[in-house]
Amino acid sequence: MIELVNHDPLRLSLAAGAGVLWLFMSAAILWPKGRKGSAETVDALILSASQTGQAEELARHTQKTLAAGGLTTRYVSIGAVDAADLQNAKLILCVASTTGVGDAPDDGRVFEKALMATTPHLSAQSFAVLALGDRSYEDFCAFGHRIDDWLKACGATAKKPVLEVDDLDATALKTWENYLAEWGGSHVEESNPFAPWTLNARARLNPDSPAAGLFRIDFTVPEGASWQAGDLAEILTPDGHRRDYSIATLPEEGRLSLFVREVIKDDGSRGVGSGLLTHALNPADTVPMRLKSHKGFHAPAGQGPVLLIAAGSGLAGLRPHLIALAAQGRPCWLVYGERHPVNDGALSRDMQAWQTQGRLKRLDLAFSRPDDGVKRYVQDVLDHRAEAVRDYLGAEGAVMVCGGLDMGRAVEATLRRIMGETWLDAALTGGHYRRDLY
Ligand SMILES: Cc1cc2nc3c(=O)[nH]c(=O)nc-3n(C[C@H](O)[C@H](O)[C@H](O)COP(=O)(O)O)c2cc1C
């Protein structure tokens, strides 16, 4: 788990007597390995609960801002925090996003099930919650509010009401900056700024389809840029919106590609991010972009077989994994869904070629609008092959799912039936069930 401890140099030098050092060293030796060091009291403990990394990035920024102001700070991912960590902080700041349908992000699930089921004594602590969400969801910022309620129930004092952030709204984020200044923070520069990336080529992958256009968008890779399978590219639109896209290539391929589905709303207007990428930008134009590590969707640990499931543009998030996992010799079974085998078949044909080349151990394709009218979705394939799925995954297998939220839900429900609740919950908690859903 991620953990950074930040010390104010002045405070440290004051404490640097030989006795203190000795105590420090013995504590390091006596403290059991893997313990998170919660005995250390800090001015501010910063937590993040994050699915795609935005809350984590804001939490790290929060830590840097407070540390720059001279506070002792500690950052911990919410999945790694315990009651003692909370009790050893004067101020607890929690940056939490909401995912699914009002759910905690994957890294917050254990926290919610285990720690939030208890009531540690926190009457000496004050706290604030920065809740990330999107107002288009019914349960707006629900997990942030649940954390806020729980901290109050534990006796902690709220410094501010929950600060809700709708789709990373700049005004709300500025309010958080002001709070940080009020609590002793000092301004720090953005550590991963946007830079101009040049569009190199754009191709429609389904030119004969009546469905919305699916485009492959290629960018020239600037010197020194790097990323790994599962990572995201975030663009900044002219009206200040940020949009994340799964990166469909690996740096060694020499280009950064995105698979982007055109979005046309009921009023005929285009989606802000997709409209820019699939329509407004032309080759040689630039767009402000930055690469973001997406730890929750990096490859699952171990050497076990991986079942990869995607539909439509979701193949973007799996394609780099298929290359990297196959290069490591890990067995890959891909279940991929699209509309029509010919008109929407460009990416599935690529995958058939990969199977012939031996990159995929197994490939199943599901088409929802085939000529014979028999609709098949990825979850139908899983259902149909339930026994093979159980044999393939066994105890060591992992699952990676990328695509729309509805597909993700249907796949999870099907896998719960096939593998059992215990297997699935253990896989979720242990990082063997990884999702990149949108
Ligand atoms: C699949 C999905 C489900 C979401 N569900 C909710 C929700 O129920 N309520 C909400 O307020 N926001 C919801 N959001 C919006 C996220 O909370 C928001 O995008 C946030 O900035 C993500 O932060 P993170 O990268 O730290 O996870 C959802 C986003 C996605 C992609």
The verdict on 22 and 55 lying in the same domain is yes
Tokens of 198: 């040049």
Task: Report which secondary-structure segment, H or E, holds 129.
Answer: strand 126-133
In a domain, 190, yes or no: no
> Ligand 1 pocket: which of 54, 56, 61, 132 to mutate (most atoms <8 Å of CB)?
132
Q: What is residue 188's three-state secondary structure? A: coil
Whether residues 276 and 332 share a domain: the answer is no
- The ipTM assigned to this model is 0.93
Q: Please, are residues 246 and 291 in contact by the beta-carbon 8 Å criterion?
A: no
Classify the C-alpha dihedral 364-366-370-374 as positive or negative. positive
Query: Which pLDDT value is given to residue 39?
Result: 61
Do residue 135 and residue 284 come from a single domain? no
Residue 41 shares a structural domain with residue 176: yes
Which of 51, 406, 412 has most ligand 1 atoms within 8 Å of CB, for mutation? 51
CA 133–ligand 1 middle distance (angstroms): 5
Query: Would you state the pLDDT for residue 17?
Result: 39
Inter-residue contact 336 to 354 (CB < 8 Å):
no
Q: Are residues 283 and 304 in the same domain?
A: no
Q: CA distances (Å), 303 to each of 36, 330, 333, 352, in order?
A: 27, 6, 14, 24
Count helices and strands (H / E) in the chain: 14, 18
Domain check: are 68 and 201 in the same one? no
CA of 140, closest atom in ligand 1: 11
Ligand 1 atom 9: residue of nearest CA: 140
Q: Compute, in angstroms, the gap from residue 166 CA to the centroid of ligand 1.
A: 9
Q: Which ligand 1 atom sits nearest the alpha carbon of residue 437?
A: 1
Last residue of a domain, one of 274, 292, 310: 292
Please state the separation of Cα 402 from the chain's center in Å: 12
- What is the domain-level CATH number for residue 142? 3.40.50.360
> Which of 98, 232, 244 gets mutated to test ligand 1 (max ligand atoms within 8 A of its CB)?
98
Say whether both 352 and 332 belong to one domain: yes
pLDDT digits (tens, 9 = 90+) for 264-300: 999 999 999 999 999 999 999 999 999 999 989 999 9
| First-to-final CA distance of the chain | 25
Return the axis-axis angle of helices 315-327 and 346-356, rounded to nearest 10°: 10
Residue 294's region, left for phi above 0, alpha for psi from -120 to 50, else beta, is beta
- Residue ranges of the chain with per-residue pLDDT less than 70: 1-39
What pLDDT score was predicted for residue 147? 98
Ligand 1 centroid, distance to 146 Cα (angstroms): 15
Atom number, ligand 1, closest to the C-alpha of residue 48:
26
- Residues 233, 369, single domain; the answer is no
Minimum CA distance residue for ligand 1 atom 17: 133
- Answer yes or no: do 339 and 312 share one domain: yes
Nearest CA residue ID for atom 4, ligand 1: 99
Pocket residues: Cβ below 6 A from ligand 1: 50-55, 97-102, 105, 132-134, 137, 139-142, 168, 405, 437-438
Residues 31 and 154 in one domain: yes
Q: What is the value of pTM for the model shown?
A: 0.83
**Distance from residue 98's CA to the centre of ligand 1 (Å):** 5
- From the CA of 50, how far away is ligand 1's center (Å)? 9
CA dist 414 and 98 (Å) reads: 23
Q: Which stretches of 162-241 are assigned E, i.e. beta strand?
A: 163-166, 195-204, 214-220, 232-236
Between the CA of 438 and the centroid of ligand 1 the distance, in Å, is 9
Q: Distance between CA 399 and CA 307 in Å, rounded? A: 5
Is the same domain home to 335 and 422? yes
Domain end (from 292, 321, 352): 292
> How far apart are the CA of 134 and the centre of ligand 1, in A?
6
Q: How many angstroms is it from 99 CA to the middle of ligand 1?
A: 4
Distance 101 CA to ligand 1 centre (A): 9
- Domain termination site, one of 292, 317, 344: 292
Q: Total structural domains in the chain?
A: 3
Residue range(s) defining the domain that contains residue 415: 299-437
Q: Who's near 311: CB < 8 A, 6+ residues apart? A: 336, 337, 338, 377, 378, 403, 404, 407
**CATH number for the domain harbouring residue 266:** 2.40.30.10
- The answer to whether residues 85 and 76 touch, using CB atoms and an 8 Å cutoff, is yes
Rounded to the nearest whole angstrom, what is the distance from the C-alpha of residue 96 to the centroid of ligand 1? Answer: 10
Q: What angle do CA 351, 353, 356 make, to 5 degrees?
A: 115
CA gap 303, 331 in Å, rounded: 9
